[in-house]
């Protein structure tokens, strides 16, 4: 099976999530992005426990595109240290996984 990944990404606002998500799909760095708004977060930042609302993106992509996807998110993101974490997809609907791979073609020479 093709190596595929879920990339978990957080943003400050829904508008930022939409802009990043749309870009990732338009540039074929992700086949699909889901956006989940109003997640509540607690985290350490600059020596203090911080609480806030964030928006989650879950991008589905090929393992070989995670580095490029991460670089693109970093370029578009408002955070100085954006959360981008890739998790392996180990199983699933074979037709869906084939679609995912088909919508994220590798650049020539990377195949």
Question: Which has the closest alpha carbon to 5: 67, 79, 47, 77?
Answer: 67
In a domain, 96, yes or no: yes
How far is the C-alpha of 53 from the C-alpha of 82, rounded, in Å?
14
CATH code at position 85: 3.30.70.120
Beta strands across the sheet bearing 84-89 = 32-45, 48-62, 4-11, 84-89
pLDDT tens column, 34-71: 999 999 999 999 999 999 999 999 999 999 999 999 99
In a domain, 109, yes or no: no
In a domain, 107, yes or no: no
Q: What is the pTM of this model?
A: 0.92
Q: Which residue segment(s) compose the domain that 61 sits in?
A: 4-102
Q: What is the DSSP letter of 64?
A: G
In a domain, 21, yes or no: yes
Residue 1 has pLDDT above 60, yes or no: no
Q: Helix (H, G, I), strand (E, B), or coil: what is residue 93?
A: coil
CA dihedral 92, 9, 29, 80 (to 10 degrees): -160
State percent of the chain over pLDDT 70: 96
Q: What are the beta bridge partners of residue 107? A: none
In a domain, 98, yes or no: yes
Predicted pLDDT at 111? 59
CA dihedral 90, 91, 94, 98 (to 10 degrees): -20
Domain total of the chain: 1
pLDDT tens column, 74-85: 999 999 999 999
Predicted pLDDT at 52? 93
Half-sphere CA count of 12, side-chain side, radius 13 A: 7
Predicted pLDDT at 92? 96
The predicted model gives 82-102 an average pLDDT of 96
In a domain, 59, yes or no: yes
In a domain, 108, yes or no: no
């Amino acid at each position: 099976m093709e190596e595929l990944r879920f990339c978990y990404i957080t943003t400050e606002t829904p508008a930022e999530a939409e802009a990043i998500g749309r870009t990732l799909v338009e540039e074929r760095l992700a086949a699909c992005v889901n956006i989940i708004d109003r997640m509540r977060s607690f985290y350490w930042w600059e020596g203090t426990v911080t609480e806030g609302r964030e928006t989650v993106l879950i991008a589905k992509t090929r393992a070989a595109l995670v580095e490029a996807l991460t670089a693109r998110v970093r370029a578009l993101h408002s955070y100085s240290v954006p959360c981008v974490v890739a998790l392996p997809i180990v199983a699933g609907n074979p037709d869906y996984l084939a679609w995912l791979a088909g919508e994220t073609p590798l650049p020539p020479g990377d195949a």
